[in-house]
Structure 1
Amino acid sequence: MKPLAATTLRSLPAVLVPSGAGHLAAVDIGSNSFWLEIGEWQGGRYRCVDAMKETVRLGGGLGADGLLEAGAAARGLACLERFGERLAGFAPQQVRAVATQTLREARNRAAFLARAEAALGFPVEVIGGRDEAHLIYAGVARLQPSPARRLVVDVGGRSTELIVGCDREVIDAESFPIGSVSLSMQHFADGRLDAAAFGAAERAAAALFEPAIGRFARADWAEALGSSGTVSAIARVLRVTGLGRGAVGPDALEALIERCLVAGHVDRLDLPGLTDERRQVIAGCLSILHTLVRRLGIDDLQPAAGALRHGLIADLEATRTGAG
């Protein structure tokens, strides 16, 4: 198994579009991936102008001592320099950049943030877990509006957010310090995929989620959505393999876990539709999702249209128009 902190990928290459007065930009400094999205609102509808994503695995470089190691920091800063080049010409009020769980935890975050702001050319804010949850829901609510009472699940690299909301209102939200990167590092670091490791990973996840299970249980919502790339990636694998017909539910997740057990090691795992980026952390992803669907009574977790970065752009738009 490759070291979790060693992989850097570039996807969604930028199409250079000149910045306009109506363009707004969000930078999401996540524990697994960094995102830059530039968008605009036209007649109440959102249009993505440009998007850049890099798999930095910043969270993979956070040591047991709480210090962000130099290699991960260097990858993150190099990515932010590229984002900064794309944001040349943007005014401060057009950009919002936030960092999440890895920098919430990192003891040396101040030093990294100073260099990050210099590389990006804009301030970087470390947001709290519940603030992150509210922004995630705002992104989903704006891009996928519905009057239904909904559960939104966001599994990131080092944190997982659960939100119940209706229309644009958040009813309840919580952030948990567990994600696909951190759980994979703790229980699957050597690449072995066996029943003992999956059992230990799910027990660890259950222990963290258990105090809040009653708040987010099935009786309190009508449909469940998965934000961020984790649920979309798992749904894609399920569609391509024909397992569960693309629906992310307990049976389908158990079928994927069984495929992992048969492979025995992440390097031997052959799942059509699974990218190398996701392969390194799929065991952690599956452990968290399987725990949640069973404990919360989720039969079908559908990929959501919105994410944290869209919530940031919605927040910028509200400030610009005076609606916030």
Structure 2
Amino acid sequence: MNNRYAVMDLGTNTFHLLIAEAGTLGFNEIVHEEEAVKLGEGGINKGSIVPAAFERGIKTMERFGGLIKNNNVQQVRAIATSALRSAANGGDFIRQVKEKTGIGIEIINGDQEAAFIYKGVKASGCLTKQRSIIVDIGGGSVEFIICDDSTVYWKQSFEIGAARLMDKFHRTDPIPPESITALNLYLQDQLQSLFEAVKKFPVHTLVGSSGSFESYTGLIETAKGHAFDLKTIKSYEFNMDELLALIEQVVLSTHQERIENPGIIPVRKDMIVTASILARFILEKLKISKVMMTTHSLKEGVLAAMMG
């Protein structure tokens, strides 16, 4: 019997469960579930998890606990990031999950989060000897990692995730031009240490880790009439003109247009706007000439660490 591992990535928007066993080429996926818990909804910038989100989170963890039990898992890790890190009632949530499911949740800091993301992206095989910048846009935080396939040169986590930006800047829909300007100025101010790092370690390739970058991949490929399944690929290279045109389209879109677009999963229907403004800001500011997407992120990094 192969040793089975379960990893949960408890993000601000989505809770992920990955159950896998060691395979000849990394790991074989047994269960991959994601639930739009929206833990940050209604309270992310106020520093608390509102009761409805708290309840959704507990219910999801009970469901994940059942799947772990039914799949004969030997080792379990549940990793919590920005929303639980910054919520005053995060400790209550962790206690209730432990009581109801027996699952112990670890809260990691932004630096540990970036380290796991690097491990996960590296395991996808899309890093090379050339220096790249990995960007992981979450709901609560955004991680930037300057690296190649063997070295991390610089990494930092910023509490400027898409849910936080939406709460601050995207209050009417479609987002007005003055809000886009205000958001860009805010990013310019917040990301000074990133600009300094890129001066020191220049990069031309950006690797977008899962999230909105998966949505962009699906939207571009589906528009070309290609049958497309994210589960079957680990990485994808964008055509820059196509990507920038799509980002512009998303930023200008109405809520109704996003709801009717099957290429955008429900949990991203609103947050994809601020995530796209952030992505475009980074691409233009860092003068990026090549963009890749990888489906690997934090949970694959935690799995790689568990499998040694």
Query: Into which bin does the TM-score normalised by the smaller protein fall?
Result: 0.7 to 0.9
Question: Which residue is 2:263 aligned to?
Answer: 273
Shift of residue 211 of structure 1?
2.5
**Distance in structure 2 (CA, Å) of the matches to 1:24 and 1:197:** 44
Question: Which residue is 1:252 aligned to?
Answer: 243
Question: Which residue is 2:49 aligned to?
Answer: 68
Question: Which residue is 1:179 aligned to?
Answer: 161
CA contact (8 A) 1:154 1:162 kept: yes
Alpha-carbon spacing, 1:169–1:246, altered in 2? closer, same or farther (3 Å): closer
**Distance in structure 1 (CA, Å) of the matches to 2:283 and 2:199:** 10
One of 33, 36, 40 as aligned partner of 2:17: 36
**Distance in structure 1 (CA, Å) of the matches to 2:302 and 2:291:** 24
Q: Bigger CA drift: 168-177 or 211-220? A: 211-220
Gaps of 5+ in 2: 225-235
**Distance in structure 1 (CA, Å) of the matches to 2:34 and 2:81:** 16
Secondary structure of 1:192 counterpart: coil
What pairs up with 1:15-164 in 2 under 5 angstroms?
Answer: 20-88=1-69, 94-144=75-125, 146-148=127-129, 149-164=131-146
**Distance in structure 2 (CA, Å) of the matches to 1:185 and 1:152:** 25
Residue 298 (1) aligns with residue 279 (2): no
Structure 2 counterpart of 1:208, one-letter code:
Q
Alpha-carbon spacing, 1:220–1:77, altered in 2? closer, same or farther (3 Å): same
Shift of residue 49 of structure 1?
1.6
Alpha-carbon spacing, 1:188–1:145, altered in 2? closer, same or farther (3 Å): closer
Residue 202 (1) aligns with residue 146 (2): no
One of 251, 268, 279 as aligned partner of 1:289: 279
Shift of residue 100 of structure 1?
0.3
Alpha-carbon spacing, 1:160–1:76, altered in 2? closer, same or farther (3 Å): same
Structure 1 counterpart of 2:38, one-letter code:
R
Secondary structure of 2:288 counterpart: coil
Secondary structure of 1:198 counterpart: helix
1:188-244 superposed Cα distances (whole Å, 9 cap, x missing partner): 1333322112222222222211232131359534532111222111232233346xx
Secondary structure of 1:67 counterpart: coil
**Distance in structure 1 (CA, Å) of the matches to 2:46 and 2:74:** 36
Shift of residue 141 of structure 1?
0.9
**Distance in structure 1 (CA, Å) of the matches to 2:176 and 2:59:** 36
Secondary structure of 2:165 counterpart: helix
Shift of residue 128 of structure 1?
0.3
1:166-204 superposed Cα distances (whole Å, 9 cap, x missing partner): 224322111010111111121113333221122222222
Alpha-carbon spacing, 1:40–1:93, altered in 2? closer, same or farther (3 Å): closer
Identical-residue share of aligned pairs (%): 25
Q: In angstroms, what is the RMSD of aligned CA positions?
A: 2.6
Structure 2 counterpart of 1:267, one-letter code:
Q
Secondary structure of 1:58 counterpart: coil
Question: Which residue is 2:149 aligned to?
Answer: 167
1:256-290 superposed Cα distances (whole Å, 9 cap, x missing partner): 335643x4x32244656233332211211111101
1:58-102 superposed Cα distances (whole Å, 9 cap, x missing partner): 122425431211111111111111000011167896111110001
* Count of residue pairs the alignment pairs up: 295
Shift of residue 157 of structure 1?
0.6
Q: TM-score, normalised by structure 2?
A: 0.86
**Distance in structure 2 (CA, Å) of the matches to 1:150 and 1:260:** 25
Residue 223 (1) aligns with residue 205 (2): yes
Question: Which residue is 2:196 aligned to?
Answer: 214
CA contact (8 A) 2:8 2:18 kept: yes
Structure 2 counterpart of 1:165, one-letter code:
C
Question: Which residue is 1:322 aligned to?
Answer: none
**Distance in structure 2 (CA, Å) of the matches to 1:289 and 1:145:** 19
Secondary structure of 2:12 counterpart: coil
Alpha-carbon spacing, 1:93–1:215, altered in 2? closer, same or farther (3 Å): farther
Shift of residue 254 of structure 1?
5.3
**Distance in structure 1 (CA, Å) of the matches to 2:240 and 2:307:** 35
1:96-120 superposed Cα distances (whole Å, 9 cap, x missing partner): 1110001111112111110122344
CA contact (8 A) 1:30 1:101 kept: yes
Alpha-carbon spacing, 1:169–1:123, altered in 2? closer, same or farther (3 Å): farther
Alpha-carbon spacing, 1:255–1:227, altered in 2? closer, same or farther (3 Å): closer
